[in-house]
Structure 1
Amino acid sequence: MDLLKVADYMHRHPVTFTVDMPVELAVDRLIKGRQTGGPVVDLDNKIIGFVSEQDCLARMLMSTYHDQQSARVADVMITQVLTVKPYDGVIDLAQTMLKLKPKLYPVVDDDGYLLGIITRSDVLGAIDKELHSHYRRVV
């Protein structure tokens, strides 16, 4: 199972966001892309933040109650982003996911440029696929 690498299971074309994007547009992208969150990138595709459904929901509710104008992604994103590298092991990531909350991790190169994302479902699927291949060999 040490051979399971993030690069083999990541999504290479994730939904991304910019700091100046309205939260409503971010929500639309999350819904259409079926992602629970996503990386905020600069013009060079380098990660500068992360925005989640929960971040957007909180801001939209607040805007509804207080009849406020639309917020931008910069107003709701977090800047401390947990990322993984394409050469990281899926098993190691699974163990990290058991300890930390994110359901989705941006995959970055060594310079912090976005390569894709990997989700908890992707990790679970990778491990399940590997286990099933071992079951077939034993039977």
Structure 2
Amino acid sequence: MGIKSFVGKRTGQVSSSNQAFQVKDFMTRKLVTFNPDQGITTVMETLLKQRITGGPVVNEKKELVGIISDTDLMHVIGDSRYHNMPVGDRKVSDYMSKQVDTIEAEADIFEAATRFLKTGHRRFPVTENGKLIGQISRMDVIIAATKLKGEDWQK
């Protein structure tokens, strides 16, 4: 009497459908963006109105040049009090982060999740040929994960 296997007969290579869960399929394409010469007060008002915590900064050619976040705005507020200077005369370019981590549109959501965990970022801009084409957030990755079937979790 031989050993019986409870695993069914395999009909060939198991294909992974992870490619269907790429950043480009879940990223936001309609973004609130800012420009480097924009006033900080306007940025604050926009973030509050849109209920967002930051956004990409683009030049007139729609090229990504930075990112401005609520953390950057905390620096503005702190500096304004310390130097006794009004917030209103500050520009985005004075406080935006110029070293921006981006992610490829073809990256899968597992890579995005790993990068979110490693960096602590809340969002990654997605660029193509230097131009901003979208942004993926932690919530976008969670939404993508809810659409996965059990077998798709294996890499």
TM-score (norm 2): 0.78
Aligned to 1:93: 112
| 1:72 paired residue among 81, 91, 98 | 91
Shift of 1:59: 0.5
Q: How many residues align?
A: 132
Letter in 2 for 1:25: T
Shift of 1:32: 2.0
Structure 2: which amino acid aligns with 1:28?
A: E
What is the TM-score with the length of structure 1 in the denominator?
0.87
Match of 2:136 among 115, 118, 121: 118
Partner residue, 2:146: 128
Which structure: larger Rg?
2
Query: Shift in Å at residue 104 of structure 1?
Result: 0.6
Give the 4+ runs in structure 1 shifted more than 3 A: none
Runs of at least 5 residues in structure 2 that lack an aligned partner in the other structure: 1-16
User: What whole-Å deviation, never above 9, does each CA across 1:80-110 have from its counterpart, x for those lacking one?
Assistant: 100112111111111111111211111111x
Aligned to 1:41: 58
Percent same amino acid at aligned positions? 33
Q: Extract unaligned runs of 5+ from structure 1.
A: none
1:28 aligns with 45
